[in-house]
Amino acid sequence: MILSTNYNPDVLTCLANLSNDEVFTPPQVVNRMLDMLPAELFSSKETKFLDPVSKSGVFLREIAKRLMIGLESQIPDIHERADHILTNQLYGIAITELTALTSRRSLYCSKHANSKYSICRKFNDEEGNLRYRAIEHTFVDGKCKYCGASESVFGEDARKDLESHAYEFIHTDKPEKIFGNMKFDVIIGNPPYQLNIGVQKENYAIPIYQKFIQQAKKLQPRYITMIIPSRWFTGGRGLDEFRSEMLNDSHIKYIKDYIDSKDVFPGVDVSGGVNYFLWSKDYSGPCEYINVVNGKETSALRKLNEYSVFPRYNQTITIINKAKQFKEKLVSPMVSSQTPFGFITTYRGQEEPFDEALSLYTSGGVTYVKPEDVSRHPEWIDKYKVIFSKATCEHAGTPDKSGRYRVFSTMRVLSPKEICTQSYLVGGVFDSQVEAENYLSYLRTAFVRILMLPTLTSQDLSADKFQFVPIQDFSHPWTDEMLYEKYGLEDDEIAFIESMIRPME
């Protein structure tokens, strides 16, 4: 089985399509990641590989197949070669007892490493080099100090017989002790992406994939390659520190970013897309970044820390820089935070108007409230407000069938005495209707929306999504043609904008 290169049929390809919770990796994706590594690693008897989050065993299986070919001249006997590779070069930490059995079945052809069916003859115990330990969380003040899990959800009394999701690799201060201070050349895998910590009895997930990368770096391997969500580029709850670490890490040699996660994981929708990267201890320099949109790849050698976030579309960089050269103030400070007037999304006022009533725009239509019910920004009540839906038009940055984005959903100008719920953000406040209408015309341009596009890795809009958008003179309306001329955009830049941004009806 290890020697086979025929994936048709391959049970691990089928398994990769089954789960939205713990995303399994298709073999062809694993091999694309392995292709980033130097070929000589697979022809050395000394190279050691670790998958710290083994699910199906596909990473270790594909590595084994390459080593079997690469070491053929050095260890001609096929059984001796397999014994050496499996006992001395490949190591894994399963995330559950079930995935431990599955991983051993993939790698050793038996769920027990020492059974008569195992292709390795050297193991004396059932787990071989693919271990699983039932780890408990370490709670401090109601939260796990390693992953942030809530004790009310993941405490022993609360979860009873449910899986703890306390992954061994990140639930220790000394990961090097797991395999007895062994030095690994390559750490590779597809870590769990998030953990539902159940705050206030609601679904509230926090990202945890970053913790596996940070832990892997502590082991000081020669290479790290993992496949993770791309939301860290610009957003993501609790990812600011991790984003700064990654953008300022000159050891990241290569990133391949897929806007649509289904290009990597068929049938699995990961908000904001996914990417895999190569971190090399001995490399320092710019990163080769490849962006994949609708099957089309664009490549550029980039400094990851050029901006405080990472614009994922290579073609937008020149447009951003041309706008930046004017040194104009940015739109971001004009945009409100969530719940601009203090009314949550589900709030509804009275159905019929009354004396002194304010019109409250909600996702379900217009209702009416009293002025004294406004708990935030009462000074905006008598102004003209430009509002837009908090949610983007596209789900989590996924384009339409033509591959283009609209970005904004509902947009409008609110007159004095008109306000909105949390379903909307206030994009700007003006004294005159003319200025508000002109500002709205500006937001509707493809130019503004292409500058926002690199920041969108989730479904919600916020002020920081406008960090590349400059403020204009709103005494007159704006068109794309005016903006293209003002900022000196070339024909290829305009063509890119129009290929990515669809007109607003």
Residue ranges making up the domain that contains 352 = 321-500
What pLDDT score was predicted for residue 456? 85
Closest CA to 226 of 252, 247, 205, 245: 252
Residues contacting residue 434 through CB under 8 Å, at least 6 positions apart: 475
The count of structural domains within the chain is 2
Pairing of strands 186-189, 223-229: parallel
For residue 148, is it within any domain? no
Residue 324 dihedral angles phi and psi, to the nearest 5°: -70, -30
Closest CA to 492 of 310, 298, 312, 273: 298
Q: Which segments of the chain have a pLDDT < 50?
A: 1-9, 11, 14-21, 200-202
Shared domain for 436 and 416, answered yes or no, is: yes
Q: What is the pLDDT of residues 181-204, one digit of tens each?
A: 999 999 999 999 998 876 544 457
Specify the DSSP class assigned to residue 437: H
What pLDDT score was predicted for residue 227? 98
For residues 442 and 411, what is the distance between their CA atoms, to the nearest angstrom?
Answer: 12
What pLDDT score was predicted for residue 8? 46
Q: What is the pLDDT of residues 3-58, one digit of tens each?
A: 444 444 454 554 444 333 467 899 999 999 999 999 999 999 999 999 999 999 99
Shared domain for 483 and 341, answered yes or no, is: yes
What pLDDT score was predicted for residue 395? 60
What pLDDT score was predicted for residue 397? 58
Shared domain for 266 and 391, answered yes or no, is: no
Shared domain for 392 and 423, answered yes or no, is: yes
What pLDDT score was predicted for residue 161? 67
Shared domain for 282 and 408, answered yes or no, is: no
Q: Which residue, 290, 310, 330, sits at the end of a domain? A: 310
Shared domain for 483 and 334, answered yes or no, is: yes
Shared domain for 338 and 464, answered yes or no, is: yes
For residue 387, is it within any domain? yes
Tell me, what amino acid is at 82? Answer: A
For residue 168, is it within any domain? no
What pLDDT score was predicted for residue 218? 96
For residue 427, is it within any domain? yes
What pLDDT score was predicted for residue 199? 52
Q: Which residue, 289, 310, 331, sits at the end of a domain? A: 310
For residue 495, is it within any domain? yes
For residue 153, is it within any domain? no
How big is the CA angle at 132 (ends 129 and 136), to the nearest 5 degrees? 150
What pLDDT score was predicted for residue 287? 98
Q: Which residue, 310, 335, 355, sits at the end of a domain? A: 310
CA atoms within 13 A on the CB side of 423: 18
What pLDDT score was predicted for residue 203? 55
Shared domain for 266 and 398, answered yes or no, is: no
For residue 392, is it within any domain? yes
At residue 163, the 3 state secondary structure works out as: coil
Shared domain for 350 and 438, answered yes or no, is: yes
Tell me, rounded to whole angstroms, the distance of Cα 337 from its chain centroid: 23
CA atoms within 13 A on the CB side of 499: 12
Shared domain for 303 and 357, answered yes or no, is: no
Shared domain for 298 and 335, answered yes or no, is: no
Shared domain for 446 and 335, answered yes or no, is: yes
Q: How many CB atoms lie within 10 A of CB 168?
A: 18
For residue 301, is it within any domain? yes
